[in-house]
Structure formats: structure tokens, C-alpha cells
Amino acid sequence: MSEIRLERLTGERLQHYLPDLARLRIEVFRDFPYLYEGSQAYEERYLKTYAAAKDSVIVGAFDGEEVVGAATGLPLAHEPESLTRPFAERGYEVEEIFYFGESVLQKRYRGHGIGVRFFEEREAHARSLGRFRWTVFCGVIRPEDHPRRPKDYVPLDAFWRRRGYEPIPGLIGHLSWQDLDEDHETAKPMQFWIKPLT
């Protein structure tokens, strides 16, 4: 996988790849645990809003000119109250937190260190801004007996802990989307993980 390159996407180059990034998000998030029933139009709108946020970052992973993965980040203050309020209620300064939105990578490219590099790139970006104390992200909470949970499913908890992240007990946000077996959006509980940005 040494031929895979990572690139921070901005400006016209980001605009060029928005449709590919949108398709990638839909493809990866259809799998458990997200089970996301996405639409191309919504995803492109979401990514444009994300790209326009001050101090945000979108990192693309490329095999040649094909985008095979992406990771996003931005100041938590840009996120909705359903994600910022839990931190404020715990006494965190929201302005000191940089939030990782997602990491998505096609299956055949996993297990080769690209996910590690996604974390390194976003942490380096947050550190370069000079005003953040913490990096955080969240993962959906699904019950152990969820009917769509694959028998061979392995949560990413161990991978995240190796990156230096720990879950914050009881610090739960909520995001809404439509599951594959739903006919409308419902709010999903999201467990936050945190790391000091030192």
C-alpha cells in the first residue's frame, strides 16, 4: 500500500472530488454499525458545508487518481448543539475541542496503516491551529444483540485506544440518520472518545 498517498483537499480540487467523497461515505456507512441509508445529494451538501467551515480539514486517500478514503475534522464549535452541549455540561470549553467527523476507507485498503495516518494528519492540523487542548470523535452505540450485527464484527475500540483515545463515560451526543431498515430518520446515541492534544 506504499503507493497510497494522502492529500489535504481544498479549493477547486476538493470541489472536483465532492461527488466521489459523497459516494464513498454512502458505501462505507451502509455497513454495520452505521447502517446508513444515504443519498448523493445530501452527502454533497454535507461535505460542502463541512469544507466551508473555518479551520476544517478534509484528507483524501488516493490510489492513483481514485479517492479510496477520506477523513474530516473541524472545530467542535461548528457542530450542532446535540454534540456541543454534552461537553459544555461537563465543564469543557467547546472552543478548545477539535472534532473528527469521520474516517471512511474502502475495505480492500484497510489494515495497511491508512487509518493511523488519517488520525495523524488531523491531529497535526488541529495542533497547527494553536488553540485546541483536545481532539474528540464519536461512534454510534448499537446493542450487542442488534439483528444486523455480523457474527465476525470487531469494534474499533482497540484501534482507537492505540491512538491514545479513551471513551468519556456517560458523555453521549446524538446524531440523526435513516437506517437501512427505517423509513425515516431517528436519533442515534453517539459515544465520545477524547485525547489531549499535547
- Per 3-state DSSP, the chain is made up of helix, strand and coil in percentages (nearest 5) of 35, 30, 30
- pLDDT of amino acid 51: 81
Beta bridge partners of 62: 5, 67
Q: Cβ distance 78 to 56 under 8 Å? A: yes
Nearest to 126 by CA among 101, 102, 97, 103: 97
Domain spans, the chain: 5-196
Position 155: which residue type?
A: P
Full-model pTM: 0.92
In angstroms, the Cα distances linking 17 to 11, 21, 30, 94, 114 are: 10, 6, 20, 30, 19
pLDDT of 150? 93
pLDDT means per 10 residues in the chain (198 residues)?
83 86 92 90 85 90 94 94 95 97 93 95 96 97 93 94 97 92 91 95
CATH architecture classification, 5-196: 3-Layer(aba) Sandwich (3.40)
CA distance 4 to 41: 28
Instruction: Report the amino acid identity of residue 194.
Output: I
User: For position 47, what pLDDT does the model report?
Assistant: 87
Residues 27-70 have pLDDT tens digits of 999 999 899 988 888 888 888 887 888 999 999 999 998 999 99
pLDDT at 39: 87
User: For residue 125, what pLDDT is reported?
Assistant: 94
* Residue with the three cell numbers 455540561: 89
pLDDT at site 100: 97
The 57-63 sheet, strands edge to edge:
5-8, 57-63, 66-75, 97-105, 134-140, 186-196, 166-177
Residue 198: per-residue pLDDT: 79
Which three-class secondary structure state does DSSP give residue 16? helix
**Predicted local confidence at residue 74, as pLDDT:** 94
